Structure 1
Amino acid sequence: MFRSAALKLHASMGVARSMSTTTGQTIGFIGLGQMGGNMAINLAKAGNHVVVFDVVQANIDAVTPHGKVDVVSSPREVAAQATTVVTMLPSTPHVEQVYLGKDGLIHALTKSHFLIDSSTIDPGFTKTLAARLVKEVGATLVDAPVSGGVNGAKNASLTFMVGGSDDAFAKANPVLKQMGKNIVHCGGVSTGQAAKICNNLALAIEMVAVAEAMTLGDKQGSKICILY
């Protein structure tokens, strides 16, 4: 659904579909679940050296056979080895811990670091985090939550909704193109998160409408299989 909407909005929001893709760099990746693991694998398959961290050993084991992948023991160590870092985490508290915790990224960040957070989290926290990183260490953060599910992550066909400056979007695009097909610039920092929330809301409303329609049809004697 969002993929279709993204294509329609390309004139006003800037869908990057033909910009060059850079491979062969060192990229950090934190969060190797069903989504993040497949995204990290695609980065490794594209020829990058990927430095990974996750708290679940099975997630790490699923990624390491695919290309040049090194494992470290904390987010801080990821930032020590890679100036471009992608995070894909379950919730706002997880992002806060990874970025700002005792062994968080912030303790090894410099103004050369470029951070892409693909987690779906609170837009307000994203804006606050980005401002803090700029103020304290000079690092740049863009938010880039995704649509497309696990299959999209496996097939590198995700849609990324990106929040950040024009320059930051241009820098993120070559990395994101290795994991997705539709890269949508939504505006400034946190607008990617806002777009993802809007997408989820629209999908939820659609699901409720279908459920109500099925219930109505069933009560009126229609066969559910026919309505479906």
Structure 2
Amino acid sequence: MKIAFIGLGNMGGGMAANLVKDGHAVTAFDLSPEATGKAAEQGCSISATVSEAVADAEAVVTMLPNGAIVRSVYTAEVFGSAPKGALFLDCSTIDLATAREVVELAQAAGYEMVDAPVSGGIAAANGGTLTFMVGGSETAFERARAVLEPMAKAVIHAGETGAGQVAKMCNNMLLAIHMIGTCEALALAEKAGLDPQTFYEISSKATGYCWSLNDYTPMPGVGATSPADNGYAGGFASALMLKDLRLAMAGAETSGAAVPMGEHATRIYEAFVEAGNGGKDFGAIFTTL
């Protein structure tokens, strides 16, 4: 399949490479020469513009920083440049209103489109083990599956347009809450005289089990290997977690949902990022305790 891939950042670069490994002809675009250079080494063809990249694409995948950029890229460069019948897959994490708006505009222009945000982080993007949460019609989802599966361990149809973004914001709000609770529990165990590794061995097999503890332990030298063992470098940046929490708070306000724990987690990550820690892995919240 001819696939255009727009956005080759920390996540997009690995995703595009896995499409190439699966035998697809990938034409890529990014504003960063470093990113396009790495993509070329992985077998992608590089285009000078988005319009050029999508010109003969059967599918267009975007992985972009925010909703405003997603809207601009599609409305200014993708619509009208991509062939009629092309499928669009936006894998960015953006606000729900913009996600739905762009899909509606795509449909009005004669295209099928899904919102397909991801969970799993940079390692999963590189390893082809992301989880995709897909919003769109059954027909569009079935078309999207063939594009997404080479990059995924799971491709799940969340529901109609926008449902993928709803799933992502709820998942990451829960992840932030879990991470803060995991950090507090580890810190409390140590300060109360219990060896943190012993606590890990107990809680990881008891009702405290969660991904943040078992698979991504945020305390250096304890439990699973994670960015904590590398000075909190790499992983999922705290600034990105804050972005996702703010999207969840906007979604909660729009839908009238009560999210007191989500609000508190947002305030904690806001303070952490404002203190200059936005580039550190989100498990670095442990260092505040």
* Structure 1 and Structure 2 fold alike (TM over 0.5): yes
8 Å Cα contact 1:146-1:160 kept in structure 2: yes
Q: Deviations over 1:57-78 (max 9, x none)?
A: 11111111233x2211221222
Which amino acid letter does the alignment assign opposite residue 32 of structure 2?
Answer: V
The equivalent residue for 1:211 is 183
The equivalent residue for 1:160 is 132
Which amino acid letter does the alignment assign opposite residue 198 of structure 1?
Answer: C
Which of residues 96, 110, 113 is equivalent to 1:141? 113
Identical-residue share of aligned pairs (%): 41
Q: How far apart are residue 212 of structure 1 and its match?
A: 2.5
Which amino acid letter does the alignment assign opposite residue 71 of structure 1?
Answer: I
What secondary structure does 1:162 align onto? strand
Q: Deviations over 1:122-178 (max 9, x none)?
A: 11111011111111x111110111111111111111111111110001101011111
8 Å Cα contact 1:111-1:140 kept in structure 2: no
CA-based RMSD of the aligned residues comes to 1.6
Return the structure number with greater strand share: 1
The equivalent residue for 1:64 is 40
Q: How far apart are residue 225 of structure 1 and its match?
A: 4.6
Q: How far apart are residue 108 of structure 1 and its match?
A: 1.2
The equivalent residue for 2:92 is 119
Greater than 4 Å deviation, 4+ residue runs: none
What secondary structure does 1:43 align onto? helix
What secondary structure does 1:112 align onto? coil
Q: How far apart are residue 219 of structure 1 and its match?
A: 4.5
8 Å Cα contact 1:143-1:192 kept in structure 2: yes
Q: How far apart are residue 207 of structure 1 and its match?
A: 1.0
Mapping of 1:36-51 within 5 angstroms? 36-51=12-27
8 Å Cα contact 1:109-1:139 kept in structure 2: no
Which of residues 60, 68, 83 is equivalent to 1:85? 60
1: distance between equivalents of 2:131 and 2:144?
A: 13
Which of residues 171, 181, 186 is equivalent to 2:153? 181
Which of residues 95, 99, 103 is equivalent to 2:74? 99
Return the structure number with greater helix share: 2
The equivalent residue for 1:222 is 194
8 Å Cα contact 1:110-1:138 kept in structure 2: no
Q: Deviations over 1:66-99 (max 9, x none)?
A: 33x2211221222212131001112212212221
8 Å Cα contact 1:99-1:105 kept in structure 2: yes
Q: How far apart are residue 110 of structure 1 and its match?
A: 4.7
8 Å Cα contact 2:57-2:83 kept in structure 1: no
Which amino acid letter does the alignment assign opposite residue 31 of structure 2?
Answer: V
Runs of at least 5 residues in structure 1 that lack an aligned partner in the other structure: 1-24
Of structures 1 and 2, the one with the larger relative CO (CA 8 A, separation 6+) is: 1
1: distance between equivalents of 2:160 and 2:8?
A: 27
2: distance between equivalents of 1:220 and 1:84?
A: 55
Within the alignment, does 1:194 sit opposite 2:166 as a pair? yes
Q: TM-score, normalised by structure 1?
A: 0.82
Which amino acid letter does the alignment assign opposite residue 37 of structure 1?
Answer: G
**Worse overlay, 161-170 or 70-79:** 70-79
Runs of at least 5 residues in structure 2 that lack an aligned partner in the other structure: 201-289
Aligned length: 200
The equivalent residue for 1:18 is none
Which amino acid letter does the alignment assign opposite residue 125 of structure 2?
Answer: A
